Amino acid sequence: MHHHHLPLISNVPLLPSSLILCPPSPNSRSPRRRITLVRASMDGNGELPLVLLVRPLFPAFEDSLRQHFRFLLPWESTLPTHEFLSANARSIRALLCFGPSPVDGSTLSCLPGLQCVVATSAGVDHIDMDECRRRGILVTNAGDVFSDDAADYAVGLLIDVLRRISASDRFVRSGLWPIRGHYPLGFKLGGKRVGIIGLGSIGSRVAKRLEAFGCTILYHSRTTRPSLAYKYFSNVCDLAAESDVLIVTCALTRETHHLINKDVLLALGKDGVVINIGRGALIDEKELVRCLREGVIGGAGLDVFENEPNVPKELFAMDNVVLSHHRAIFTPESFSGLLQLVIDNLKAFFDGRPLLSPISA
């Protein structure tokens, strides 16, 4: 049997590789600088807990994560992946999945001892959730750590489309302003009816922001949110018919695939704007491009696409469209928040404590 060679750590209480140095907390009363020594949680052999990876760690996360966990790297083995997994199955209880690498049924079937999957994204459409539920495998996602940034980006995309920010920035940089004299008018945001699809952590933050601009919020969600005073629609078409803007912030599941389709776009209408920061497949992309080309809807702001990094080239010539390469959450705060959440979820799992951001069934 091929063993993945790991450095041996002897059974001594405090070990250099397990020391975590914490700076004194801001509220510390002690006038002298104190360093707190915290022992990382160990498994029964005095080693750091073992976590399976399906792709390499983000370089930025590697140092921190390796202070707390040991990692199993299947691609470094000469064995084919499924054989490697089966060979190590007994020691694998946790899997860290950097999105969007898939965790599919065949991978899961090689891991009979798997109890926890920690994902790094808000969306978990790349994980076989049915199989995880069936086997009682706990799955955690990114919780709220990205939500502010995602909401900011959605608002930025919307106002950009309405007020033609990116298009007129290009206009100025091309030197056309002195020649053409002015740029075509945009459209007012205040008073617009904004239909939010998916009123979760991100959607509710989008709503709060847009209310301050004088928008009226409507929504469709799997469940109603009675504590929020927004009008609920059980049907996306009906929502679109009463909206000037649709903002897609829901999860991609079998049910929500191509949720925004021809009927919805038609109902939204010729001045309507669609903003998508969810997943590309939430929208029938071919249909969206056709509707934009034919003026069935008024504009779109898209951070995600059905087949990234491929973007329908027809969109490149449209000034009523704003395009972005799937980076609604790329800020230092979101990334460090994510790193901390990943560490905290894994530690909670290995300590037998409740997970911080489990996905409920």
165 CA to centre of own chain: 25
82 is catalytic: no
Instruction: Report the first-to-last Cα separation within the chain, whole angstroms.
Output: 38
Residue type, position 138, single letter: L
193 is catalytic: no
Q: CB of 218 within 8 A of CB of 191?
A: no
Is residue 89 classed exposed, middle or buried when 0-12, 13-18 and 19+ CB atoms within 10 A define those classes?
Answer: middle
Pairing of strands 116-119, 138-140: parallel
Tokens matching residue 144: 């709220």
The distance of closest approach from Cβ of residue 4 to another protein in the complex, given in angstroms and rounded to an integer, is: 25
205 is catalytic: no
CB of 21 or CB of 179, closer to another protein? 179
Q: Which of 55, 257, 258, 326 is labelled catalytic? A: 326
Secondary structure class of 213 (helix, strand, coil): coil
Q: Which of 70, 279, 285, 287 is labelled catalytic? A: 279
CA–CA gap between residue 196 and residue 251 (Å, rounded): 13
For residue 54, which of 109, 86, 100 has the smallest C-alpha distance?
A: 100
CB of 261 or CB of 331, closer to another protein? 331
The distance of closest approach from Cβ of residue 310 to another protein in the complex, given in angstroms and rounded to an integer, is: 9
Residues binding another protein (CB under 8 A): 58, 60, 100, 148-149, 151-153, 155-157, 159-160, 162-166, 168-173, 175, 177-178, 181-183, 185-190, 208-209, 211-214, 308-309, 311, 313, 316, 322-327, 330-335
The distance of closest approach from Cβ of residue 282 to another protein in the complex, given in angstroms and rounded to an integer, is: 18
CA–CA gap between residue 147 and residue 150 (Å, rounded): 5
CB of 120 or CB of 221, closer to another protein? 120
How many other β-carbons are positioned within 10 Å of the β-carbon of residue 227? Answer: 6
CB of 3 or CB of 313, closer to another protein? 313
The distance of closest approach from Cβ of residue 168 to another protein in the complex, given in angstroms and rounded to an integer, is: 5
Q: Which of 62, 76, 308, 314 is labelled catalytic? A: 308
The distance of closest approach from Cβ of residue 325 to another protein in the complex, given in angstroms and rounded to an integer, is: 4
CB of 20 or CB of 172, closer to another protein? 172
Tokens matching residue 297: 């809807």
Positions marked active-site: 279, 308, 326
